Amino acid sequence: MEHRRLTGRVVIATHNPGKLKEMQELLAPYGVEAVSAGDLGLAEPEETGTTFSANARIKAEAAAQATQMPAFADDSGLCVDALGGQPGIYSARWGGAEKDFQMAMENVQALLLTVDALTAEKRKAKFVSVLCIAWPDGHVEEFEGVVTGTVVWPPRGDRGFGYDPMFVPEGFSRSFGEMSAEEKHALPPLGRGLSHRARAFRLLAAACLEGGAPVTADGQEAEGPAV
C-alpha cells in the first residue's frame, strides 16, 4: 500500500484532554493544524471493536466522514500480564462513567493482590497504542507502538494522565507520572520518543508526514509539491 502524505488540517478524534494535548504536541513540528472532535461538537462513536486497531479505526472513520477531513485517532491501554492482558481495550472503562483513573488504578491493584502479584516480576505490563488516520474516501493507515514495563503501587507522580502514575517503563526507575512531557513523548532530538503513543507516532510520521504521496482532504492527488 502506498502511504499518503498528511498535510494541512486534521481532526483529532478524541474527547480525552490528555490524549489531545499529546497528539497536538506530536503533530506541531510538522506544521499540521489539529482540531479536536470535541471542539467540532462531534459525538463519541461507540467503540464496539475487540482490538485497539478496530477501535482506533472506528473513531477515525467516524470523524473523517462527519467532517470530510482526514481524521487521526488513537486507541490505547494498559495490558497487565498477570491479569490476562486486562484492562486492555477497556482501560478507560475501568474508571467508570466519570473516567476516574484513580479508581481504575485501584481496581488494577486490587486484582493484582487477588492473584498474589506482589513482586516486580509478577507485575509486568505494557502500554499499547494504535494510531489510525482515515480519509473521507475510505483510505486508512494504522501504526502500533508498544512500551513494556512494570506496574507499581502506590502511584507515583501527578503528570501525564490515565494509568501513567502506576507504570514504570523498562530500564527506568520513574513512572510516566513522574516524567515531563518531553521525557515521555518528545521525539528526537528533543526526546527519545519513549511512550507507546510516541513510538506509534514515529512510524506514522515516517510514512505520512515525512513521506507518502500528497493528496487533498478528499483523497484526490494534490497538484504541485507536498508541503
Report if residue 219 sits inside a domain: no
Report if residue 38 sits inside a domain: yes
pLDDT tens, position by position, 14-56:
888 877 888 888 888 888 888 999 889 999 999 999 999 999 9
Report if residue 191 sits inside a domain: yes
Report if residue 72 sits inside a domain: yes
What residues act catalytically?
A: 75
Report if residue 227 sits inside a domain: no
pLDDT tens, position by position, 173-210:
999 999 998 888 877 656 678 999 999 999 999 999 99
CA–CA dist 217, 71 (Å, integer): 10
CATH of the domain at 64: 3.90.950.10
Report if residue 223 sits inside a domain: no
Report if residue 224 sits inside a domain: no
- CB burial of residue 69 (10 Å; 0-12, 13-18, 19+): buried
Range of the structural domain that residue 198 is part of: 4-214
Q: What is the number of domains present in the chain?
A: 1
Q: Is 160 left (phi over 0), alpha (psi -120 to 50) or beta?
A: left
Overall pTM > 0.75: yes
